[in-house]
Amino acid sequence: MKKTATRLADGRELIYYDAHDDAVRDAVDPRPLPPVATRSEIRHDRLLGDHVAIASHRQARTYHPPADQCPLCPSRPGRPSEIPAPDYDVVVFENRFPSLAGDSGRCEVVCFTPDHDASFADLTPEQAALVLDAWTDRTAELAHLPSVEQVFCFENRGKEIGVTLGHPHGQIYAYPFVTPRTELMLRSLAEHRERTGRNLFDDVVADELADGSRIVLDGEHWTAFVPYAAHWPYEVHLYPKRRVPDLTALDEAARTEFPQIYLELLRRFDRIFGEGEPPTPYIAAWHQAPFGRRQQTTLADRGEFALHLELFTIRRTSGKLKFLAGSESGMNVFINDVPPEAAAERLREVASK
**Of 137, 181, 154, nearest in space to 297 by CA:** 181
How many CB atoms within 10 Å of residue 256?
Answer: 15
**How far is C-alpha 175 from the geometric centre of its chain's CA atoms?**
14
Instruction: Report the catalytic residues.
Output: 169
Which residues, other chains included, contact 189 with Cβ-Cβ below 8 Å and sequence gap of 6+? 199, 200, 201, 299, 304, 305
Which strand (E) or helix (H) includes residue 156?
Answer: strand 150-157
Percentages helix, strand, coil for the chain, rounded to the nearest 5? Answer: 30, 25, 45
Which strand (E) or helix (H) includes residue 189?
Answer: helix 180-196
Distances in Å between the Cα of 153 and the Cα atoms of 106, 171, 172, 210 are 12, 6, 4, 30
Read off the amino acid at residue 143: A
Which residues, other chains included, contact 224 with Cβ-Cβ below 8 Å and sequence gap of 6+? 215, 216, 217, 218, 236, 237, 238, 239, 261, 265
Distances in Å between the Cα of 28 and the Cα atoms of 23, 24, 79, 86 are 15, 12, 13, 11
Cα three-residue angle 269-275-281, rounded to 5 degrees: 35
